[in-house]
Structure 1
Amino acid sequence: MAEYRPHVGKVVCEISPKFQRSNGIFFGSNPLKHTISVVFLQTSTTGLLIAFLHAILAPLGVTTIFSQLLAGLIMGPAILGDIEVVGKYLFPPKTFYVNDTIALFGCTMYLFLIGIKIDLSNVVKALKESKRSWAIGACSFMLPLMLSISAALFLRSMMSSSNQKLHSSIVSIAFIFSTSSFHVTANHLADLKLLNSELGRIGVSSTIVSGVLSTTLITGVLSSSEKKHGDHNNSYNMMMISAIALVIFIVYVLRPIMFWMIRQTPKGKPMKESYILYVFLMLFGNTLMGEVIGEHFVFGPIVMGLAVPDGPPLATALVEKIDAIISSMFLPLYFLFCGSKFKISLMDTQNFALVQLVALICFLAKIVGAMLPSLFYKIPLVDALCLGFLVSAHGITELIYLQTSLHLGIIDEESYGSVVIGLLWSAGVSTPVVKFLYDPSKRYLAVSRRRNIEHAFPNTELQLMACIHCEENSLSIINILEMSNPTQESPICLYVMHLVQLKGRTTPVFIDHQQVKKNNNSETSYSSKSECMINAFRSYEKQNSGKLVTKLFTSISPYETMHDEICLEIVEKRVSMLIVPFHRQWISTEITESTQPIRALNRHLLRIAPCSVGVLIERGPLNRNSAITCLSYYSVGVVFIEGPDDREALVYAMRMANGPNVRVTVVRLVEPHKKNRTLISRDYDGKLIHQFKFEYVHIKRHEYREEIVRDGVDVINVVKSLDGCFDLVLVGRSHANESTSLFSGLAEWNEYPELGYVGDMLVSSHSSFVGSVLVVQQQRLGAANNHDEHLDTSSHSMKSGQSGV
């Protein structure tokens, strides 16, 4: 490592009133001559530039860190700051003293956020259990470290003695390029919407290993540099002892206090504001102590963040409080601070080329280092290549290492600029390649086998999956399950997935409640959130022993990628139908709105799910006829027109009709010219209707009737006539004759396109229907190649956005 050289900067004298606020232009004061006004301008300008660059580059697969760092370089003195007028008014030297202070404070808070979002149980699990993670993580760190340092030593031996600056720092540069960070990889995956993918799981677990190795080694190197800077022989020893004591204090004093705060918070209630304040005071106190004992300012925030108990209520509350302001205000200033140190005038062409060569060697070595063990563990070639590019992408953690090295004098300002360019292109090249090559949906979109109820074998176990977001969804699913008639001859296996939005952590969690270990604090805390729902389904399973099996899971992940998790489970579990709750609920004359992401999730599932999908909408008390109250009959209606979705709905209703407490009525809408068509013809619709009439209508409680409809008005009148007649109505989402005059003009009034025409008529804001509706879509084979225009944003979906989405 290079010898310690204190960083020397420029001293600027400034009249103190200039640091105060401006009196305003109406009093003859120029705001751009006052520091605080200029800092506000810098913050807003940099933030806007970051947003603009990200809007342009995100479709290419470029992640946020690239836009942030590029904006910092553009706004810095190397580009815009080099323009005389801009540099004079937007970037006067005096502002950078205030700017740098705020930026480093923001960096402190950001590192605290990183610590909060890291689940130590996942880190320990990855380090203990996965040989594959160890192999990929260790190889993707050690191979580039050895090759890049070897190349750096070789290049140093070829340098002339006059090139003293790069000669002393090139090995340190190679080391920075070799480092990895779990948090950086998780952020790249989140931007690419791959956190729930197989590549995401492997990438996160392997960079946990390489990140631990990187952090351990770089901490030793930086501490060694601090040791050289000490004035006394025992300074380093005292600093290390004090650091260990600080860690012990945080873990055994402050962490138990935070657990006490959680215990004092009633279940389901938000954390008290005073508790949040106390945690921030703990953070600032520990950051101060880290500086007092001689540790780097990043030490206290990271340790304190790791000590915060994972998940809700505390970690989630902290992230919600500070995430937005850190990302929107402090980070732009931090990247402006990074850009202010980037000076093209200091850079030498030969030295720049040598640094980029080291960066390229390290970049390629990382790719190879990740690919070799991946191929050994039978990971497909394309996936292994994408994993290599993913772990090669650098981010803010490497930038912090670089800033620290500059502050300690390990590298100089010229080398700093060259390294920044290396970090920039590694992030800019890697993630677009991953976006182009890797498709997380290929594992389930390639499914060619029919997985629906219509083509399921009779008298075999029916595999269903239900997604729930809250306790209110549980009883509705249980009632649907009761109507589905599980028997000894035709049992049902129900997979229940409790979907929870990812908050207060970086990586998704998938909990199998059949295997939750009590000593896993993270999974136990999330299991307690699902406890009421779990107990309800297990209680119902006991009542139907031998006829029903329920398996319960919790998925904590971002809504943007939750559909990948669900679809992968569908394929693995061989599910025939997925039932999801509608994003809008009607409860006791009140309308409650769920978040827009839930609607987007349902649309994703309707578009790509490798099985049939049912969207359950509650516009009435389906719960009144529950298994608990033991009332006589569920009254079930089926609106049948024609097409695969209508057949799927009717087949499901026919299964229900076999139950002793279900009464099924099929209402078939027939156009006049099809009235006399022979039912036992070659069309599948006629055969299924004939089967229902032959097998069920002779049982007095079941009924079949036909309604002649000529146009959309007739369809609306028939649908309106269903009001008050049924507890549950099953309808197909789409119909084979939607292009005819039967549905002409209805698209203009379609409030919820994802429900189809008939489903939308039943549940739209203008409907008076009271009851529950299950909108059924049969599995779409080759969903990747099908374009469903009804699910795309359009004029009618805009109406729904205005009416309560």
Structure 2
Amino acid sequence: MPTVFISHSICSFPVIASLLTELEILNSEIGRLTLSSALVLDITGTAVTGIATSMVVSSNKGLEAYIINVGGLIALFVIILTIGRPLMKLVVRHTQQGRPVKKIFIYIIVFLVIIFGLMETELVQPFFGGAVMLGLAVPEGPPLGSELVKQLQLFSTWFLMPLFVTSCIMKVDLDLWNMNKNLVMIIFGLIIMVTLVKILLCVGICQFCSMPIIDSICIALILSCKGVVDICAYILLYDAKRYTSGEVSIMVISGLILATISKIGVKSLYDPSRKYAGYQKRNILYLKPNTELRVVACVHKPCHIVPVRNSLDLFSPTPTNPLVVDVLHLMELIGRTSPIFISHRNQQMSVGSSHHNFSGEIIVTFSLYEHEYAGAATVNAYTAISPFTFMHDDICYLAMDKVASFIILPFHLRWRDDGTVESDNNNIRTLNIKVMEKAPCSIGILVNRGSCTSISSSYVVAMIFLGGSDDREALCLAKRSAKELNNHLFVYRLVGPDSETTNWDSMLDAEVLRGVQGTYGRLENVTFEQITIDDPSQITSFLNDVVTKFDYIIVGRRHGVKSPITSAMVNWTEFPELGVIGDLLASPDMETKASILVVQQQQMPTKW
């Protein structure tokens, strides 16, 4: 009974991390809080359970065995912490940035896993205890942690894990009807009682911290989940004669039931994207005059730094129209379990750190931008390390938290100087699509074709206007660029031969265009031209004629807007996230070096 009580009172960090990954909430507020809680609980529970086990086993063997087992366990932990981790950090510091760790160090770590496992066995502990302790000491991320994952994950996850689970379950006897009915009821009753007390305590603590009741229940369900690690512990206890065949069967069945309830319960109760939806308009079109514009600019690779930095010039920051930029450096999570989010303004980077020095170039570049626009622009730098699957949560959460009106996302294709495609990253494309679906504000996908790879003081900008909410948002952004007198803006309005002028959208389009048509006075650096399109093929001809004249071309995505001008080309669109015009401009067949910014206005929710 004490063993059943203890095993259902503690939780396993790997199991919780795996569940959060399956539920796709690893980066959410609940996911981060639960993962941190699980790590503390797992380490504390493992340490207390290990020492208690050594004390109980050694109590009948005399004082000498007691000192050896308990003292050896503590000594092993101290050795790994004070000697093993510093040596592994030394290996990381002596590995050149961007280069993999030498194979010999990987072999040494694998050998130490076996040695520490055997030492744990001699100290009357499970074999995997030493491996877990050593694994926690490995510096996370590249180059050491990521290389270990690369070398071991395929073999361990897809080959050893299925064999291990199968061999464990083969020891389970599911014929509970032949067991003592009273024993079955007592064990199940104890498991239900422990789980309910655990859930109530967790919900109570969360309520004391003023958390919503639904979030509290979700955290409690997640921390009550059982998985492969727990099954391993049950089988080890069975092998050690602590459980009978029937008792371990009950434990495995209860673990299966708890895992199922946890997953279904959290999936039905918690929607991480719901908090991004809102009825407050966060876009450039509805921004009040002489108020600051907040922008979240995302960077994946060094090649994105200068294009993203130059695109900020389109917002023309001035002391009366200040710009606040939150630059988010996005890194894929490799070699560690928990995602991290770093604010570089609040946290100093340590020299030689394995995962903090990658954002140095970004910080320097955008700090210079802030000094260049002193009094008009403010820049904050952040780094988010998470899996690509959940990276959109980091972007949307930062945009929501900073009350941003616009998000800049780099396009997933990279071009060479000769106009051919150099690289294609589908992970970035999937990320952009997810952000466009869930973002709490307007979005711009920046397609860099090569013209803006160096910093310039003036740009020639074109805005192609067909109509619709996305085009109106794009035009407002284009008009902001014209506030800098060194920039020159050309606005091209494409209309069909029988375009309607009486519907509501057309009236809104005309109102937005009045600022560049001359009703309120024409600016010297703004040129407006209306072009009639009789046939969709004329759009391609028009684009081919003008694309070589500009540094930037701003277009709307026109999401959900149908137009007779572009309807014939919709089925030929290769990248729907760019819209029809954006897709034509981003095509390798289009000979241009202009950077394209495809704008989508904030998608207002129709229902909760």
Give the alignment's TM-score, normalised by structure 2. Answer: 0.94
C-alpha change, 1:530 and 1:360, in structure 2 (3 Å) is same
1:710-736 CA distances to partner (integer Å, 9 max, x unpaired)? 232122222222231111100000167
C-alpha change, 1:266 and 1:784, in structure 2 (3 Å) is farther
Q: 2:496 aligns with which of 666, 671, 688?
A: 671
1:587-613 CA distances to partner (integer Å, 9 max, x unpaired)? 323523343221111001111211000
Residue 440 (structure 2) aligns with: 610
What amino acid is aligned across from residue 363 of structure 2 in structure 1?
I
SS of the equivalent of 2:163 reads helix
Counterparts of 1:404 and 1:288 in 2: how far apart (Å)?
Answer: 15
Residue 442 (structure 1) aligns with: 274
Residue 482 (structure 2) aligns with: 657
Counterparts of 1:695 and 1:284 in 2: how far apart (Å)?
Answer: 79
2:408 equivalent to 1:584: no
2:470 equivalent to 1:645: yes
Counterparts of 2:243 and 2:56 in 1: how far apart (Å)?
Answer: 12
Q: 1:542 aligns with which of 371, 376, 379?
A: 371
2:8 equivalent to 1:183: no
State the 1:697 CA deviation.
Answer: 7.7
Residue 558 (structure 2) aligns with: 734
Counterparts of 1:661 and 1:473 in 2: how far apart (Å)?
Answer: 24
SS of the equivalent of 1:503 reads coil
Q: Report if the CA contact (8 A) 1:640-1:646 is conserved.
A: yes
Name structure 2 gaps, 5 residues minimum.
none
SS of the equivalent of 1:316 reads helix
2:380 equivalent to 1:551: yes
Residue 223 (structure 1) aligns with: 54
Larger of the two Rg values belongs to structure? 1
SS of the equivalent of 1:207 reads helix
Aligned pairs for 1:269-348 within 5 A: 269-345=99-175, 348=179
Q: 1:393 aligns with which of 200, 214, 225?
A: 225
2:82 equivalent to 1:252: yes
2:196 equivalent to 1:364: yes
1:188-241 CA distances to partner (integer Å, 9 max, x unpaired)? 1111001111211221222233323322332133223432575x5412312333
SS of the equivalent of 1:729 reads strand
Residue 508 (structure 2) aligns with: 684
Q: Report if the CA contact (8 A) 1:680-1:690 is conserved.
A: no
Bigger mean CA deviation after superposition, 649-658 or 586-595 = 586-595
Q: 2:544 aligns with which of 694, 701, 720?
A: 720
State the 1:679 CA deviation.
Answer: 13
2:592 equivalent to 1:769: yes
C-alpha change, 1:430 and 1:550, in structure 2 (3 Å) is same
Structure showing the higher helix proportion among its residues = 1
Counterparts of 1:570 and 1:353 in 2: how far apart (Å)?
Answer: 52
Counterparts of 1:535 and 1:383 in 2: how far apart (Å)?
Answer: 39
What amino acid is aligned across from residue 240 of structure 2 in structure 1?
L
Bigger mean CA deviation after superposition, 285-294 or 656-665 = 285-294
Counterparts of 1:398 and 1:404 in 2: how far apart (Å)?
Answer: 10
C-alpha change, 1:317 and 1:784, in structure 2 (3 Å) is farther
What amino acid is aligned across from residue 730 of structure 1 in structure 2?
I
C-alpha change, 1:784 and 1:595, in structure 2 (3 Å) is farther
C-alpha change, 1:699 and 1:225, in structure 2 (3 Å) is same
Aligned pairs for 1:17-416 within 5 A: 170-227=1-58, 230=61, 233-345=63-175, 348=179, 350=181, 351-416=183-248
Counterparts of 2:60 and 2:249 in 1: how far apart (Å)?
Answer: 25
State the 1:379 CA deviation.
Answer: 1.0
What amino acid is aligned across from residue 655 of structure 1 in structure 2?
R
Residue 62 (structure 1) aligns with: none
1:307-362 CA distances to partner (integer Å, 9 max, x unpaired)? 21122211111112212221111110111111111023575151333322222222
Equivalenced residues, count? 605
C-alpha change, 1:334 and 1:550, in structure 2 (3 Å) is same
Q: Report if the CA contact (8 A) 2:54-2:124 is conserved.
A: no
Q: 1:530 aligns with which of 359, 362, 377?
A: 359
2:391 equivalent to 1:562: yes
Q: Report if the CA contact (8 A) 1:607-1:783 is conserved.
A: no
C-alpha change, 1:623 and 1:344, in structure 2 (3 Å) is closer
C-alpha change, 1:529 and 1:737, in structure 2 (3 Å) is closer
Bigger mean CA deviation after superposition, 237-246 or 648-657 = 237-246
SS of the equivalent of 2:133 reads helix
Q: 2:460 aligns with which of 635, 638, 652?
A: 635
Q: Report if the CA contact (8 A) 1:679-1:689 is conserved.
A: no
2:578 equivalent to 1:755: yes
Q: Report if the CA contact (8 A) 1:635-1:662 is conserved.
A: yes
Counterparts of 1:547 and 1:654 in 2: how far apart (Å)?
Answer: 18
SS of the equivalent of 1:622 reads coil
Residue 597 (structure 1) aligns with: 427
Paired-residue identity, %: 30
State the 1:252 CA deviation.
Answer: 3.4
State the 1:425 CA deviation.
Answer: 0.7
SS of the equivalent of 1:455 reads coil
Q: Report if the CA contact (8 A) 1:646-1:735 is conserved.
A: no
Residue 127 (structure 1) aligns with: none
What amino acid is aligned across from residue 724 of structure 1 in structure 2?
T
Name structure 1 gaps, 5 residues minimum.
1-169, 786-805
State the 1:242 CA deviation.
Answer: 2.9
Counterparts of 1:289 and 1:743 in 2: how far apart (Å)?
Answer: 71
Q: Report if the CA contact (8 A) 2:447-2:596 is conserved.
A: yes
What amino acid is aligned across from residue 421 of structure 2 in structure 1?
I
C-alpha change, 1:388 and 1:228, in structure 2 (3 Å) is same
What amino acid is aligned across from residue 188 of structure 2 in structure 1?
Q
C-alpha change, 1:229 and 1:331, in structure 2 (3 Å) is farther
State the 1:432 CA deviation.
Answer: 0.6
Residue 488 (structure 1) aligns with: 319
1:724-777 CA distances to partner (integer Å, 9 max, x unpaired)? 111110000016752x43223312211001100000011123332321100000
What amino acid is aligned across from residue 400 of structure 1 in structure 2?
C
Q: Report if the CA contact (8 A) 2:482-2:525 is conserved.
A: no
Residue 304 (structure 2) aligns with: 473
Counterparts of 2:491 and 2:453 in 1: how far apart (Å)?
Answer: 22
Q: Report if the CA contact (8 A) 2:296-2:326 is conserved.
A: yes
Residue 69 (structure 1) aligns with: none
Counterparts of 1:670 and 1:655 in 2: how far apart (Å)?
Answer: 24
Counterparts of 2:422 and 2:549 in 1: how far apart (Å)?
Answer: 24
Counterparts of 1:414 and 1:588 in 2: how far apart (Å)?
Answer: 70
Residue 7 (structure 1) aligns with: none
Residue 453 (structure 1) aligns with: 284
Counterparts of 1:489 and 1:608 in 2: how far apart (Å)?
Answer: 31
Bigger mean CA deviation after superposition, 699-708 or 331-340 = 699-708
Q: Report if the CA contact (8 A) 1:711-1:744 is conserved.
A: no
2:568 equivalent to 1:745: yes
What amino acid is aligned across from residue 712 of structure 1 in structure 2?
P
1:684-725 CA distances to partner (integer Å, 9 max, x unpaired)? 111221211227984444211111112321222222222311
Q: Report if the CA contact (8 A) 2:55-2:70 is conserved.
A: no
Q: Report if the CA contact (8 A) 2:330-2:384 is conserved.
A: yes
State the 1:779 CA deviation.
Answer: 0.6
Bigger mean CA deviation after superposition, 494-503 or 776-785 = 776-785
State the 1:647 CA deviation.
Answer: 0.8
